[in-house]
Amino acid sequence: MSTDTSSQASSDALIDDETIRRVLDAGLASGADFAELFVEDVSRSGVSLDDGRVENLSSSRDIGAGIRVISGETTGFAHTADLSPDRLVAAAQAAADAANSDGGGTVTVELEKVDSAPAPVEVDPSSIDKATKVGLVRRADEVARAHDDAITQVSARYADNRRRILVANSDGVLATDDQTRTNFAVTAVASGDSGLQTGYESVGLSVGFELFDRYDVDELATNAATRAMTKLDARPAPSGTHTVVIGPGSGGVLFHEACGHGLEADLVGKGASAFAGRVGEQVASPLVTLIDDGTMTGEWGNYAVDDEGQPASSNVLIKDGILVDYMWDGNRARKEGRRSSGNGRRQSYRHLPMVRMTNTYLAPGDQTPEEIIAGVDNGVYVAKLGGGQVNTASGDFVFGMTEAYLIEDGQITAPLREGQLIGNGPKVLQQIDAVGNDFEMGPPGTCGKDGQGVPVGDGVPTLRVTELTIGGTAA
């Protein structure tokens, strides 16, 4: 496989400095406190296979700019797909009008380039022949189907995207980033006496086509097929409260939902978080150290600078059970007179930034996974979690278990059908009584908040919760 970084290094500037100044001046002309220009250029390509057929090759290109003007408590926002200087200035005026600023005067903005290096990409996905990408999804289909005659349907999807951004604002920030992400997913359907069951496997990293140096498509397809087959023999999950052991990797979604969202400063500021006003308090078991880290090289939720031009950073949220800090974007940080933690993100130039997680993970502890499972007489082992949802105000959260087993007398036994787990974040954090010495990052995720989706990662070691409610159908 060839290595090519030249096409990224030589890319043109998204917009020139003179235009940036004109736009910011227009945003500030009527006396606003803050103006920001966000420019984005995203290209995507994807190949999907379903029903034994490569059914869709797609590509898309999206270029545009969003202009934000803040006056007092009010944010005005306008966006345009037309990057001509006149259209950008008009959008800046529209944003300033929407911010309802009055007054006037001119402000000269001195732009200072934020020192940040985009993540290196070894193999630019756009340099790879489409036929090679097609070959990957075909291979996944063959391998999953060959796994067992009971595998009756397979879908596979390859996707890559490159996102270049530029952020400039009236505080003098000028920052750029160039983000490449590549991902691959396989779903297998197994058919048996109990009906249809599904198995899913996905991987994704902030890297180029070298993703496939790290992951073997055959293994991914086999994993998906095996999960579907296992569930053909699954029994209904129990209902009621049980001790639950969560396996390494995808269990990170538990923390994402149980407390991650509740530690976002915008929700905290509005009293819509069960963790408001609790910095310095013991909010979790002393075994819990939770970190949000946008600088984990190659991980799905990574970036060099956030969508407000702040460098990504590693932020300890909970240390040995004590709440250390929330996550911040520029807007919330300004209100509190502190620095952003580099968590200001947006789905696209059409959206306003807000506080978002990056890669959220639980630091490993010192017990072996075997010890943790052996300590359970009667419970549930969740090997793979799906998505979840939280009500940050009450702290109640749910997440789906897509691969789970009973634990009987310290042993993992019968597979269980899918079900939801439900808990209350502040309570569950206190009920973690074991954290393993293993650790994995989970599959790539898309986190939704107020209608915006952004890529996030999470990870955990094996951990045990003394009491979670399992939404099964068995009494």
Binding to other proteins in span 72-131, by CB under 8 A: 72-82, 94-95, 98-100, 130-131
Is residue 457 within 8 A of residue 440, CB to CB? The reply is no
Is residue 154 within 8 A of residue 189, CB to CB? The reply is yes
Query: How far apart, in Å, are the Cα atoms of 152 and each of 47, 149, 198, 234, 471?
Result: 21, 7, 10, 18, 28
Closest approach of other proteins to the CB of residue 290, in Å: 21
Which 442-471 residues touch other proteins, going by CB under 8 A?
450, 469-471
Closest approach of other proteins to the CB of residue 314, in Å: 28
Task: Verify binding: residue 324, other proteins, rule CB under 8 A.
Answer: no
Task: Verify binding: residue 270, other proteins, rule CB under 8 A.
Answer: yes
Out of 63, 150, 316, 322, which residue is the one contacting other proteins (CB under 8 A)? 63
Out of 208, 400, 415, 442, which residue is the one contacting other proteins (CB under 8 A)? 400
Is residue 256 within 8 A of residue 388, CB to CB? The reply is yes
Closest approach of other proteins to the CB of residue 370, in Å: 27
Closest approach of other proteins to the CB of residue 418, in Å: 4
Select 116 or 420, whichever has its Cβ closest to other proteins: 420
Out of 2, 12, 18, 51, which residue is the one contacting other proteins (CB under 8 A)? 51
Out of 37, 143, 274, 376, which residue is the one contacting other proteins (CB under 8 A)? 274
CA distance 96 to 76: 6
Number of C-alpha atoms within 13 angstroms, CB side, residue 280?
A: 1
Segment lying near other proteins (by CB under 8 A), choices 12-20, 173-181, 213-221, 265-273: 265-273
Select 113 or 130, whichever has its Cβ closest to other proteins: 130
- Strands 173-192 and 112-113, how do they pair? parallel
CA distance 443 to 462: 15
Task: Verify binding: residue 395, other proteins, rule CB under 8 A.
Answer: yes
Tokens representing 280 are 């310095």
Select 279 or 398, whichever has its Cβ closest to other proteins: 398
Is residue 415 within 8 A of residue 284, CB to CB? The reply is no
Task: Verify binding: residue 344, other proteins, rule CB under 8 A.
Answer: no
Each residue 349-388 as x (binds other proteins by CB under 8 A) or -, in order, gives -x-x---------------------------------xxx
Each residue 16-45 as x (binds other proteins by CB under 8 A) or -, in order, gives ------------------------------
Is residue 221 within 8 A of residue 411, CB to CB? The reply is no
Which 169-208 residues touch other proteins, going by CB under 8 A?
189, 191, 195-198
CA distance 11 to 30: 35
Can you state the angle between helices 130-147 and 217-232, rounded to 10 degrees?
A: 30
Select 48 or 295, whichever has its Cβ closest to other proteins: 48
Residues near 332 by Cβ (< 8 Å), separated by ≥ 6?
265, 266, 269, 340, 355
Burial class (CB in 10 A: 0-12, 13-18, 19+), 317: buried
